[in-house]
Chain A
């Protein structure tokens, strides 16, 4: 898989938040086989320097980071956060989130397009967290994005793919654009479904971090994503409503 000119072995992008401990985060990242881990920027309170320890841990894992603008509700917030992220993480990659609704964390697609245009013009390589809306996708590509990340379902909901029809249409409309399902994945079967639809990758966090055994779940997702991709590449049969016998009918014994 190639994202902004970078060849990646794994089709799983993994979030780094909400793990029970830093050690479990590290083990889950290793078990997942991912090449890309998402990170964020936050204030450090009370004289603590936990962010420095976290950054050391990520450095030891040897993965590429994808900083996000999580929690930003305006274009200005998102653009400034992206600039700060580039300064600290030394990468042009940015997972662009402009949140429009506090309950569903649904993207503000109008602000998203505006922020994406500004950031692309400033040399960023933008991974926009968007909906499955075709017109918005088109505007994001016009703004300069070369990867799209439609949601499967609201962030952290674990509901899977809420709108399979819309995601399938998105894949069909943009066959050459890397498409990553981001958010809402809860189980390995959801990831398989996304990959069988022809999506290039899956980005998830909570499904692994909040699993009873995050390390085992990371490994399960890695295998699910490989299986789903292999299934897509093998060109699945078309489904049908009525049965079709798999055993040949001619030559049946006559047994009155």
Chain B
């Protein structure tokens, strides 16, 4: 399936957001997610179904002021 991951076009073989994170090598990573600009909490990733051209945002902890 063709989706955007952090603004970059990717071919991802996944049905759900949780599967996509696995495929993208975020299994152990502490990240926050949004789909098409809408926040998706950790506990809903398993049931959040992806579709063609979705925009997946994956954010990690970072330095901030």
Docked Cα-Cα span, A224 to B29, in Å, equals 39
**Interface residue? A228 (CB, 8 A):** no
8 contacts between A and B (CB under 8 A): A44-B6, A50-B60, A54-B61, A70-B65, A83-B39, A84-B33, A89-B61, A155-B65
Q: Which 8 pairs from chain A and chain B are nearest by CB?
A: A40-B64, A51-B60, A15-B65, A205-B65, A84-B32, A42-B62, A55-B61, A17-B63
A162 CB within 8 Å of chain B = no
Query: Is A76's CB under 8 angstroms from B30's CB?
Result: no
By the criterion of a CB under 8 Å from any partner CB, how many residues of chain A are at the interface?
A: 37
- Contact of A25 with B63 in the complex, beta carbons under 8 Å: yes
Which residue of B39, B64, B65 contacts A80 across the interface (Cβ within 8 Å)? B39
Q: How many A-B residue pairs have CB under 8 A?
A: 98
Proximity bits, B35-65, A CB within 8 Å = 1, else 0: 0011101100000000000000111111111
Number of B interface residues in the complex (CB < 8 A): 23
Beyond the given A43-B6, A44-B58, A88-B60, please list 20 additional residue pairs across the A-B interface where CB-CB is below 8 A.
A15-B65, A16-B65, A18-B63, A38-B65, A39-B61, A41-B60, A41-B62, A41-B64, A43-B7, A47-B25, A49-B29, A51-B60, A54-B61, A54-B63, A68-B64, A68-B65, A76-B37, A80-B37, A83-B39, A87-B41
A206/B65 in contact, CB under 8 A: yes
Mark out the residues of chain A between 20 and 37 whose CB falls within 8 Å of any chain B CB in the assembled complex: 25
Interface residues of B, Cβ cutoff 8 Å to A: 6-7, 25, 29-34, 37-39, 41-42, 57-65
Scoring A16, A88, A156 by chain B CB atoms within 10 A of each residue's CB, the highest score goes to A88
B62→A87 contact, CB < 8 A = no
- Measured between beta carbons, the chain B residues less than 8 angstroms from A247 are none
Residues of B within 8 A of A19 (CB): 63
A2 vs chain B, min Cβ distance (A): 23
Residues on B with C-beta less than 8 A from A43 are: 6-7, 57-60
